[in-house]
Amino acid sequence: MSALGCARLALLVIVAQHFSAARDSGPHRVRLDLAGLGDAHDGALRGRSTQRGPGFEPGDPAPPFQVRTLGGQFVYPPPSGPNVSLVIHGFSNKSAFLECLWTRSASLADLVQGFPESAHALFLSVDDTAPSDALWMREQIRQAALSLRREEVLSRMHFSPVPVHELGNWIPRVLYAWGCAGINCGFDQVVFTCPEFEVPLVAKRLDARYDWLTAGWKPKLYSVAEAGDGCEPAAAVSGAVAWLSEGNCSFFTKVKNMASSGAAGVLVYASPGNPIQDMDCEGTECFTALEIPASMVHVEPAVVQALRNKQPVTVSFQKTPSPNFFIAVDQQGTLAETGWFLYPTFSFVNWQAQWFDFSAQLQRRLTVPAQVLTVFENVVMQGDPGAVATVDLPLGVTDFDVLQLEVALSCPGKRDETCAAWDHTVQLYICCDKFSPLCGLELGRWITAFHRGTGHWLTDVSPLMPLLNGKKCTFTMQTAPWAMPWVSGLHLRFSHSNQSGDGSDPLRPFKLEPLFKGGTFDHDYNSRYQPVSFTVPQATKKVEVYAVITGHGSDDNGCGEFCVTSHHFLVNGVFNNSLVFDTAGTALGCTARVGEGAVPNEGGTWLYGRAGWCDGLQVNPWKIDVTQQLNMTGRNSILYFGLFRGKDPNPKTNPGMITMYSYLVFYK
């Protein structure tokens, strides 16, 4: 776990507790939301039908186009074929976020180091200064690529000197129509007024990272008070927004001093010639929760002068909608959104392009021959019933030895803004014989993608084939009943494995015994489990433990979602089979799983590692071959227990939750 991860985690827990009282968040849901999101969301849904332009929505084909670039022409699709993804960026220096994205060396380094080989980028400017912007953007990337010895990446980066409003193709239409008002998109601005000013002075601002300073600016007029560099508390700022120079101490120190001086908020101005920076905490600073908003702006001489003249200066905060900053075309040649960029780094571009790689690979996997049983197609999953369907199992499907679940979760509209919020658990239950003890058990689990509708996964659940123990099966897919609707698709794909290669018959699961379920992760968690005794049926060749385990909730240790838990199946008292969720709570744990299908650039904190899961991803089963640990002719025992940092969980408040289904699977 990185120090940053630790730090943010600690803060997250504090914030979660702070927020949990205020929000109807359900058993798994006590975390940050972004101010104002709900309203924007509803508005988007209502406005949807009138704003549609045919043919230029996400999922529609991207028409061919060409654009003049610094090097010549960029032609799409490229001559090598449309099997590349393309990220199109509309730069504007009217956005402080984009200014920071393009000047932060960490951001540029992320781009040149992590931009996938299958991806191209087309850099445009919406400003009148497009010719110089193109030269500048190219130089920014060239410098980063040279210093990191990644010049190769430049061949996939294209810079156009033609301003967006002169392109003469469909790109502006999409940039404008998919305009954005979410976090870090749109023009975040400050508005200064003063009797000395003829008109209000509007300037760009970049808010401190939302996962550090969670307080937001209120829709009101604040007075402004000058307080030097803010490295010492200053009584004069009480009730006002403190106007501070950058430097001499950390952003954290400035904000902490101003908070303790009773300031309503902080504006740090960049020294002349310096860019606006990403105001973030560092290391242990992040352990202290600060409760006032803060933003960075350029120095405004008129404001400096007015304050010096002891004139009353006020400030208010606004967002002016802008064209979208980033749109994309995936490897299938369809238009795609790129989600939310939570802080200024080009990694968000890389993650989106990595996901396009995953998606292309998934399309290829879906062309492998299989017998497909459609359970749901565009079925709305909402409320207590969820999505339910009863289907006949085709004859002979249980002769296959591979069972995969193809699941897709999309939104009521084509745009991500129509998608439900939060990362909720989705569970799929199956019942093929209502008198069987196997009726109603879990067949698969996923986590919804917070405000993104592209989730699509293929999950191997072959060991659970014995759950298909009837001719007619009812499938029930459920998520939090209070969540907004998801449009779900579920296909069962039956096929033959090709694992043996030596011509021998693959082993098939013929019997399943349900084992332990999860529960409240409190002091008594482990005392609620008793060993299960079992014998191995005759002719069994292999025995496997199959468990799907996820941690949720937020106690004072961050358990179960953001704490490091371990899970153990103790076989015959001696074989201690262990799994540790060691990336839970790390700053970027779930970004590492975008290549496996974790939907990137969601709302909320999808980046953090979690206990056994990531937002927008299937939950992978833990499979343990325990054959060698068993007495095949006598009695055996198995006991589950779960630990927090190697010990029984010990929450002081608000215990978390382990969601678990586990089975013994017998193969012959």
Ligand X SMILES: *[C@@H]1O[C@H](CO)[C@@H](O)[C@H](O)[C@H]1NC(C)=O
Residues that bind ligand X (CB under 6 A): 80-81, 83-84, 93, 99, 118, 129, 133, 136, 228-229, 245, 247-248, 298, 498, 501, 566, 568, 570, 576, 578, 631, 633-634, 643, 646
- Which residue's CB is nearer to ligand X, number 44 or number 296? 296
Spatial CB neighbours of 465, under 8 Å, sequence gap ≥ 6? 398, 400, 401, 403, 508, 509
Find residue 374's DSSP bridge partners: 491
Nearer Cβ to ligand X (211/357): 357
Give SS3 for 502: coil
Q: Using the structure block, give the residue that is written with the tokens 């103790």.
A: 570
How many Cβ atoms sit within 10 Å of the Cβ of residue 196? 13
The alpha carbon torsion through 458, 462, 468, 472 (nearest 10 deg) reads 30
Work out the number of other CB atoms within 10 angstroms of the CB of residue 369: 8
Least distance to ligand X, CB of residue 627, Å = 13
Contact 498, 440 (CB under 8 A): no
Taking each helix axis from N to C end, the angle separating 105-114 and 347-365, rounded to the nearest 10 degrees, works out to 20
Q: Which residue, 445 or 493, is less far from ligand X as judged by CB?
A: 493
**C-alpha dihedral, 187 to 190 to 196 to 198, nearest 10°:** 20
Distance from chain centroid for Cα 537: 44
CB of 248 to ligand X, least distance (A): 4
Number of neighbouring beta carbons within 10 Å of residue 71: 12
Question: Residue 396 or residue 646: which is nearer to ligand X going by CB?
Answer: 646
C-beta closer to ligand X: residue 129 or 436: 129
Q: Give least dist CB 364 to ligand X, A.
A: 11
Residues 387/376, Cβ–Cβ less than 8 Å: yes
d(CA 182, CA 162): 27
CB of 600 to ligand X, least distance (A): 19
Residue 83 or 238 having the CB closest to ligand X: 83
Sheet holding 206-207, edge to edge: 201-204, 187-193, 314-320, 222-226, 241-245, 265-270, 294-298, 206-207
**Residues 6+ away with beta carbon under 8 Å from 648:** 523, 525, 526
Contact 477, 387 (CB under 8 A): yes
Q: What is d(CA 162, CA 70) in angstroms, rounded to the nearest whole number? A: 9
E strand map for 166-227: 187-193, 201-204, 206-207, 222-226
Question: What's the min distance (Å) between Cβ of 189 and ligand X?
Answer: 12
d(CA 208, CA 527): 45
Closer to ligand X by CB, 477 or 626: give it.
Answer: 626
Q: How far is the CB of 211 from ligand X (least distance, A)?
A: 26
Q: From CA 400, how far away is CA 462, in angstroms rounded? A: 9
Residue 644, classed as helix, strand or coil, is strand
Please identify, using beta-carbon distances, which residue of 288 and 572 lies nearer to ligand X.
572
| Spatial separation of the C-alpha atoms in residues 556 and 479, rounded to whole Å | 26
Compare residues 220 and 364 and give the one whose CB is closer to ligand X.
Answer: 364
What are the beta bridge partners of residue 639? 570
Nearest residue to ligand X on Cβ basis? 634
For ligand X, which is the closer residue by CB, 471 or 635? 635
Q: Which two tokens stand for residue 44?
A: 């988007």
Of the pair 216, 228, the CB lying nearest ligand X is at: 228
Which residue in the block uniquely carries the two structure tokens 């401190």? 208
Least distance in angstroms from the C-beta of 508 to ligand X: 17
C-alpha pair distances (Å), 603 with each of 87, 208, 466, 585, 662: 19, 17, 38, 17, 31
433 vs 582 by CB, closer to ligand X: 582
Closer residue to ligand X (CB): 391 or 639: 639
Task: Write down the least CB distance from residue 72 to ligand X, Å.
Answer: 20
Residues in the chain: 668
Q: Smallest distance, Å, CB 313 to ligand X?
A: 19
Question: Least distance from C-beta 136 to ligand X, angstroms?
Answer: 5
Contact (CB, 8 A) for 302 and 198? no
| In the complex, minimum distance from the CB of residue 105 to ligand X, in angstroms, rounded to a whole number | 15
Minimum separation from the CB atom of position 36 to ligand X (A): 26
CB of 159: closest distance to ligand X in angstroms?
A: 13
